[in-house]
Structures are given as structure tokens and as C-alpha cells.
Amino acid sequence: MEFSGIDIAVFIGYCLLIVSVGLWVSRDKKGHEKDSKDYFLAGSTLPWWAIGSSLIASNISAEQFVGMSGSGYALGLGIATYEWMAAITLLVVGKFFLPVFLEKKIYSMPQFLEIRYDKRVRTTMAVYWLLVYIFVNLTSVLYLGALTLKTVMGVDLMTAIIGLALFSLVYSLYGGLMAVAWTDVVQVVFLVFGGLITTYLALNSLNPDGFLAGMSDLLAKAPEKFDMILEQGKTMIPDGKGGQKDAYLDLPGISVLIGGMWITNLNYWGCNQYITQRALAAKSLSEAQRGIIFAGFLKLIMPLIVVIPGIVAFVVNPNLPKADEAYPWLLQTYVPVGLKGVAFAALVAAVVSSLSSMINSIATIFSMDLYKEYIKKDVTESGLVKVGRIIGVVSMVIAVIVAPFLSSLDQAFQFIQEFTGFVSPGVVAIFLLGLFWRKTTANAALWSAILSVPVSLLFKFIFPLLPFIDRIGLIFLALCAMMVGISLYENKVENPKGIALSKKLFHTDIVFNVGAIAICVMIAFLYARFW
């Protein structure tokens, strides 16, 4: 892929802009040294538009640009259900989860678990999350971003992994969440508009009459790729081992609307430090909820940016060696000189914003939930910030070492969803019952945390043909039943640590309510159109 002088200038300008913004917003005022609230919660100063932008910039990464385009190439628009169902999940989180979290004034999700249950649950889940963030999320984002650099620019894979890791650390390590959130505002502009440019050019290539005509041609040439609800045995995709498998195993029909997909999304958007940390840093609850609405609207357009390009690549070149090569191939083939720098900046923006967010969340959980609790209880505020920076570097080094081993995967996005799904049933059961059923006990929560992964692995071994989304739903129900049984056996009255709920707590203003209705109507229309 040849870059012109303009492309190189645009890309270098983007890099300098991000680093400059990150260092500028995170500078210390005269006489003030960063404390844990500044570093991990941006001083609780974020407005709604920064929260919404940061949620999307942190969420949309190489796993979406490359991974979801790869899944779009392999199985079609159905993979967009992760984006559109996420918009609905955001509304649930904004309405019912955030009011409780913000009322408790927490730094981390494990901290909430100690408030609601006990220290054992807090520590167990803190360790779970650190392992998932480092060995699944961080490594997969690094790998997919590096794969694109290799495909588009011919950069050595390991060199690309190290380069992305260093870039993300340059500003986030010093500034913490403040630097991450405010650079995300800039990055989401590159991400959305740069991504739309690639989609426009790809569709325009199908029909010289323009974008809409290209979309019409795409629908006509690949109608089988526009089914949101997949039928069993209808769509076959590569299994990553040289053979074929039923796409229904990844997206099992109606289950994506009423089954385990809800558990996956509630885990990600409502119980996930990496995401909720932005809302915890809001100026107020109403600002956090408006940020959620903003993110929900952005979610509606994401399939146009991260899925449709993969379908275009399938129509034009159905013989790519790997599905995950679809998006890099599009950049290489259709984006002209002069715009390559913008499109490439969009992709790198998605990668580094996600990496920076993950590093900050890893630092928060390790510092606040493990180091301060078990290693040095009298640690100073500046000491917590220092530890956060050190663990950020250590976790990134681990991810750099592990990332190349993901090269054997065909669809990395599905890998992320399935292996995160080993933890999500237990996590969501713990949070839902902890939030909304006051009798839930700490022992019940602890057993759910302990059993989630081994039971998931057992189900995968015994029922290898059971779609993983269905498996997540079934395990969630089983763990909920177990928690109810243990809680009732231990204590037939309300747990004194139960959350006191009231109608006033869940009151939302007219901006949130109107936005929520609009999002629901739009999603209903999209599913009706592409059922």
C-alpha cells in the first residue's frame, strides 16, 4: 500500500495531535499532584459528550474494524446484532445500573462487590477480570491492530505490536483516565469519519452511480449476507482449521434477541470496569445517562462502518485466505492516495484508544482492589498512581508477548466473544441478583464466581455443538438458580448488605427518556427490515 506525502502528513499529524491532547489535559496544576481520583476517575469531571465518545472509542477497536469486518465477510450482517443489541443494553445499564454505582461512589467494579457482598468476592472477581483483560482483550486488540499494519503497510507483525503498545502508553500512562477520555473525544471523530470514508469508497466501487446505488447492488449480489436471524444449517463459514462450520453456532437464531446475547452485553456494558469507568467519572448521574444515550445512537451506525465493508469484500473477492483480512484488503484496494492517511488514522485511533482504556482499567483494579487491600494498606495517593503506572507497563509487556500466538485464528472477534463468555454468566448473575434481590448472600456470589469458568468449559466439552451464546444463557440460569438456593438456605430474610432500591433512584429525565424511545424504535425497524 503506497502512502503519499499527504497521507503520511495526515497520519503523523494525527499521532502528534493525540499525544499533545493527552499530555495537555493531564498536566498537573501548579502545586497539585495527581491522586487516585484524578488518575483513575478523571477527578469525576467528565461531561456527557466526553463519556459517550469515550465509551465508543474504547469499545470500537481492531476487534471491530478488523474482527467484525471479518465476521461480516464470513457470515454477514447478522454479526451486527452485537452492535444493535448493545444499544438496547446501554439503556438498561443507564436506567438501572448506573444510579446504584454512582450512589456508592466506587472506583471499581470489584469495590462494589465488597460493598454488596464481601472481600472474598471482590478479590476473586478482581483476579478474573485482570486475567481476561490482559490475556484476551488486550492481546486480541494488539494482534488485530498489528495484523492490519502488516497487511496494509508490510510492517513486521512483532514490530507493529510493539509500536502500537508504545504509542498507547505514551500519553495514557502519565495522564490516566483524564488523558484517555479526552483523547477519545478526538479519536472518535477520526474513527467515525475515517471509517465512513472507507465504507463510502468501497460501496461506490460497486456502482459508479454512488453510495446508495452501491448499497442496492450489494443487497442484490449478496442477499444471503443480510439475514439478522440465522437459520440452522443455512450459512457455512470457515472453522479456522481448513474446514467449514455452521454459522448458527456463532449466532443461534432467535437466541441473539432473547437468550445469551443479553448476558454477554450486560457483562460488557454493565459489569465491565473497562467500560463503566467512564460513567463512574461523570460530573453527575444525568451527565452519565446522557453520555449513555449518545453512545447508543453512535452504536446504531457502527455496522455501516465495521460490518458492511466486510460484505463488500466478500462480493468483490470471496477467496481471501482469512476472513480477518477483509478490512485491510479494502484499505489497500479502494482507498485512494490522499485519503489513506485519514482511513489509516481511523483504524489506529480505534486500536490505541482501546489499548489505553484497558491499561487504565487494569491499573485501577490492581491498585485499588489488590495492592491497596493486600500488599500495602497504608499506601499514599501518589503511591497508588505510581503502582498503576507500573502495572500498566507490566500488563502491556505480557500482552506483547502473547499477542502473536493469536495468528492461528480465522475470526478473532468470535474468539473474544466465546472466551469472555466463560466468565460472563457468573459475573452477570452476581451483579443482577446483588442489585435487585436483597436476600442474595456472599457465599452464593462466591460460588457463582468460582464455578462460572469450569462449568462453561464442562458444557463446551460435553455439548460441543451447542452454540456458545445458548451455552452462556443456560449457564447463567443454572448459576442464578444455584445462588437463589444457597441464599435461601443460608438466610431467609433480607441480607443487611442488600441494596435499598426506590423509584426515585431510577428516575430519568426527559432527554434520556426521549433518546431511549428513539433508539428502540430505530432498532425495531432495522430488525424488521433485515429479519
Domain ranges of the chain: 5-10+39-72+97-245+272-286+301-410
264-274: average pLDDT: 89
Cβ atoms of 290 and 48 within 8 Å: the answer is yes
Q: How far apart are CA 476 and CA 482, in angstroms?
A: 10
- Look up residue 285 and give its three cell numbers: 448521574
> What pLDDT, on the 0 to 100 scale, is given for residue 121?
94
pLDDT tens per residue, range 461-520 = 899 888 888 999 999 999 999 999 999 998 777 778 888 888 888 999 999 999 999 999
Q: How far apart are CA 58 and CA 188, in angstroms?
A: 9
222-231: average pLDDT: 86
| Nearest Cα to Cα of residue 336 among 204, 215, 216 | 204
> What pLDDT, on the 0 to 100 scale, is given for residue 240?
59
Candidate from 51-60, 81-90, 105-114 with smallest mean pLDDT: 51-60
Candidate from 77-91, 154-168, 489-503 with smallest mean pLDDT: 489-503
Q: How far apart are CA 473 and CA 86, in angstroms?
A: 16
Percent composition of the chain: helix, strand, coil (DSSP 3-state, to 5) = 75, 0, 20
Work out the mean pLDDT of the chain and round it to a whole number: 86
43-51: average pLDDT: 86
The one-letter amino acid at 288: A
pLDDT score of 351 more than 70: yes
> What pLDDT, on the 0 to 100 scale, is given for residue 413?
57
pLDDT score of 31 more than 60: no
pLDDT bin (cut points 50, 70, 90) of residue 429 is: very high
Q: Compare 189 and 508 and report the one with higher pLDDT.
A: 508
pLDDT winner (highest mean) among 89-98, 334-343, 461-470: 89-98
| Nearest Cα to Cα of residue 472 among 437, 430, 427, 440 | 427
pLDDT score of 343 more than 70: yes
> What pLDDT, on the 0 to 100 scale, is given for residue 29?
67
% of residues, the chain, pLDDT over 70 = 94
- Look up residue 187 and give its three cell numbers: 479519536
Q: How far apart are CA 351 and CA 63, in angstroms?
A: 8
> What pLDDT, on the 0 to 100 scale, is given for residue 162?
92
> Which distant-in-sequence residues (6+ apart) come within 8 Å of 428 by Cβ?
263, 266, 267, 270, 271, 476
7-36: average pLDDT: 78
> What pLDDT, on the 0 to 100 scale, is given for residue 62?
63
Q: Compare 494 and 452 and report the one with higher pLDDT.
A: 452
- Look up residue 327 and give its three cell numbers: 478490512
Q: How far apart are CA 101 and CA 117, in angstroms?
A: 14
pLDDT score of 402 more than 70: yes
pLDDT bin (cut points 50, 70, 90) of residue 152 is: low
The CATH superfamily of 5-10+39-72+97-245+272-286+301-410 is Sodium/glucose cotransporter (1.20.1730.10)
pLDDT score of 529 more than 80: yes
| Nearest Cα to Cα of residue 426 among 461, 467, 464, 472 | 472
- Look up residue 290 and give its three cell numbers: 446522557
Q: How far apart are CA 387 and CA 41, in angstroms?
A: 16
Rounded to two decimals, the pTM is 0.88
- Look up residue 56 and give its three cell numbers: 465508543
Q: How far apart are CA 192 and CA 321, in angstroms?
A: 28
pLDDT score of 196 more than 80: yes
> What pLDDT, on the 0 to 100 scale, is given for residue 126?
93
Look-up of cell digits 469450569: 454
Burial code (b: 16+ CB inside 10 Å, e: under 16) for 26-48 equals beeeeeeebebbbbbbbbeebbb
Cβ atoms of 250 and 403 within 8 Å: the answer is no
% of residues, the chain, pLDDT over 90 = 35
> In sequence order, what DSSP letters do the residues of 460-501 get, joined into one string?
HHH-TTS-HHHHHHHHHHHHHHHHHHHHHHH-SS--TTS---
Cβ atoms of 178 and 26 within 8 Å: the answer is yes
Q: How far apart are CA 472 and CA 432, in angstroms?
A: 15
SS3 40: helix
pLDDT tens per residue, range 285-317 = 999 999 999 999 999 999 998 899 999 999 988
Candidate from 260-274, 322-336, 434-448, 472-486 with smallest mean pLDDT: 322-336
